[in-house]
A and B are shown apart, each in its own frame.
Chain A
Amino acid sequence: KNEVEQSPQNLTAQEGEFITINCSYSVGISALHWLQQHPGGGIVSLFMLSSGKKKHGRLIATINIQEKHSSLHITASHPRDSAVYICAVRSGGSEKLVFGKGMKLTVNP
């Protein structure tokens, strides 16, 4: 079982829809990252969370430490949101990030 599980693995939505991407993890963590990777490879850090909720523009990220679960919400989705969204966690005293498999989002106009 992977330490970080994401669901769904793929999602196709229509422009304007509200989208939720889920991430569950099985280890104690000190931080959770939501990352965005576009075709061609570059990774952009969207959020780093250790508790509660963060909002940036149309993106909202929440984390429930007790349930070991985080969600990334996209409001009023747009075709430019099409990308792979990756959840990654830092556990314990380690420096490294452990990545989920990512969720491929396609937003159609």
Chain B
Amino acid sequence: AAGVIQSPRHLIKEKRETATLKCYPIPRHDTVYWYQQGPGQDPQFLISFYEKMQSDKGSIPDRFSAQQFSDYHSELNMSSLELGDSALYFCASSPRGQGNYNEQFFGPGTRLTVL
């Protein structure tokens, strides 16, 4: 069965650079969630989208922005990168079309290292 796809899987950037992380949800899933997991930390919710609209927002820095496109894939844009942004970034998707909450399926994550 198709799973959530994230790209790239690994990314190395310098401080103050920008990065774009991509998430391709499971086919027919209309909701995408982004989470950040710092070293030794539990994942923290960043932001979510339903039908291309932001549906909830967590502890996402102002330097970050995200959007969901017409094909339901999502991109997380990160600017002015800081050392503390080094983390594993997970995307999850779910089929929320009926208005009910459904199980979130996680991608493999993108490991971002800021030097």
Q: Which residues of A contact B48 (CB under 8 A)?
A: 95-96
Size bracket of the B interface: 20 to 34
Residues on A facing B (Cβ under 8 Å): 30-31, 33, 35, 41-45, 48, 86, 88, 90, 94-102
| B42 lies within 8 A of A101 (CB) | yes
Residues on B facing A (Cβ under 8 Å): 31, 33, 35, 37, 42-45, 48, 50, 55-56, 58, 88, 90, 101, 103-106, 108-109, 111
Could you tell me the distance between the alpha carbons of A30 and B56 in the complex, rounded to whole angstroms? 16
Q: Which residues of B contact A102 (CB under 8 A)?
A: 42
Min CB distance A89 to B, Å, is: 12
| A31 lies within 8 A of B101 (CB) | yes
Min CB distance A26 to B, Å, is: 15
